[in-house]
Structure 1
């Protein structure tokens, strides 16, 4: 009978979120075609998996994660040079990483007696809850932000740099998106869906007040806002479901 072990899935998911988003700088992401940069990223990936899994005598599982991660990143580099959009390559890359994590979590490692983490004897529920919360925060802020930055320009027919811009705060839009999706995560988890609706309405009003009469700019703002809220709500419910 197939098994699914959350004691494997949750630490590997958290390790992936940390290594691929929180601990991966923009310069590393752009330079992963270079062997030394890719090696540095894989070392971070393997170390995160090794530490969060918590079985310091077992190296085979972190090694499998690192090897598969490196292979997927190499394939992503090839996809980036092909006729595939950045958003499509990003989705394919993350789907492949999650598929590997699902596959490894479906193996009965405890039955093979090669997985015995230290936190099994402590408070495993609290430990896994903490990792889920960390994963949810990173997914709702950094991961969703990366996807929106890649997907939004592909949704319009012209270069977004041609849209009228003013001298706003540096990277303010990115931080606003992170904060609004973090608030959605808090509202959904606490069951305050009315507050989430108020946030969506308030953000929409503020954004449209700043938009000029250009239909293209207005639609660009609308698509970006709705995409951010859609991802935020979906990831917030996914986090809540996993916490349950």
Structure 2
């Protein structure tokens, strides 16, 4: 692996995912119109981008990330509607900036000696970043996508708001765990075991049917489960291919 764009793209993506999905809490998202909260988020993604890439003399990286992330997030704040499409377009805009910046840096940097962390740890550093990205994708990122898709069904299932919140929290945690297991199985080169996991969960859910209302609930859960497994398997598959490419 000698391509500078890969060595820049992956740390920048890691910084983006950490800033957007780990260091930015649900409470921060609710208070997104607060100048202090917004400024903190921009500062975090800028600092992480600079630190994780490790090209200390290059101010282009923090400058471009600072300006682009600010503009994209400000534009998103002006859009009142909240939907999966807007979420994906917002994310895609950040990815395009990262790719463009990485390609630009390739023309500026002709050797890898300027990459501090890569020079110290080699490809292990980049592979570690890939796994961090994958863990965020199979947990918080996937959960957000699934919640957008199944949200229309939730009001039909849950009558009580408190039950709604409890069920959603429980389902989210289960989803996190099952997708992490899928990722680990793929990384351990045991993808066939995922089939047993899907079968076991499906049987368990259908065994809970006692009434028509239970049947509706189980069908709702199975929709979420199939989405969860599909997204988890896709992310795990791509992750293993990227790691193989980096060898």
TM-score, normalised with respect to structure 1: 0.87
Structure 2 residue runs of 5 or longer lacking an equivalent are none
Q: Residue by residue, what CA displacement relative to the aligned partner does 1:137-175 show, whole Å, maximum 9, x if unpaired?
A: 111111111221222113x38455338959968932221
Shift of 1:21: 0.6
Shift of 1:4: 6.9
More helix as a share of residues: 2
TM-score, normalised with respect to structure 2: 0.86
- 1:138 corresponds to: 136
- 1:100 corresponds to: 97
Distance 1:110 1:140 in 2: 30
Q: Residue by residue, what CA displacement relative to the aligned partner does 1:108-140 show, whole Å, maximum 9, x if unpaired?
A: x25424982212422220110111111111111
Query: 1:218 aligned to 2:218?
Result: yes
- Alignment length (residue pairs): 237
Distance 2:103 2:133 in 1: 20
Q: Residue by residue, what CA displacement relative to the aligned partner does 1:39-77 show, whole Å, maximum 9, x if unpaired?
A: 110011111111101122222212211221122212222
Q: Does the C-alpha gap of structure 1 residues 157 and 144 become closer, same or farther in structure 2, counting only changes over 3 Å?
A: closer
- 1:48 corresponds to: 48
Distance 1:15 1:157 in 2: 33
- 1:207 corresponds to: 205
CA contact (8 A) 1:5 1:105 kept: yes
Secondary structure of 1:106 counterpart: helix
Distance 2:151 2:90 in 1: 19
Structure 1 residue runs of 5 or longer lacking an equivalent are none
Q: Does the C-alpha gap of structure 1 residues 174 and 31 become closer, same or farther in structure 2, counting only changes over 3 Å?
A: same
Shift of 1:8: 0.9
Please, what is the CA RMSD of the aligned residues?
A: 2.6
